[in-house]
Amino acid sequence: MKRLIPILVAALALAACTNPNTEFTAWQKEDVAGYSLTRVHESAVEYYQFHEAGHAAATFGSKDGAVTGPIVYWKIEDGRLVIFDEKHTYQRLTLIQKKNDEIVTRASDGTVATWKLAQ
């Protein structure tokens, strides 16, 4: 039993370190309005051009297939960037890292993605 306690303590400490909801940098409107985000991905196409009024031109699809370009909305909610329309939430992004023109995010499903930021 004495051996089990240090193992449990170590496991709990490790779990706390890997929890995606523990710490993040909150998005600010200034980080989004007037900018575009292009996902860095080998096959997927995902692009957003964010406008000050809370809407964004979006492009979704695959590099070797069809793409579509709907108008969506965006907002900052609890420090996360939410991209949505009347029926769907497309992304709920937690900002993990921002360095120059590159952003790393975690989606609500846990997916980590790298984006190019442009103005």
CATH of domain 23-118: 2.40.128.50
The whole-number pLDDT of residue 77 equals 95
Tokens of 21: 């909801």
DSSP code per residue over 78-117: TTEEEEE-SS-EEEEEEEEEEETTEEEEE-TTS-EEEEEE
Does the pLDDT value for residue 13 go beyond 70?
A: no
- Give domain limits for the chain: 23-118
Does the pLDDT value for residue 50 go beyond 90?
A: yes
Q: What is the pLDDT of residues 56-100, one digit of tens each?
A: 999 999 999 989 888 999 999 999 999 999 999 999 999 999 988
The pTM is what? Answer: 0.73
More reliable by pLDDT, 117 or 5:
117
3-state secondary structure of 48: strand
The whole-number pLDDT of residue 23 equals 67
Whether residue 45 contacts residue 62, with contact meaning beta carbons closer than 8 Å, is answered with yes
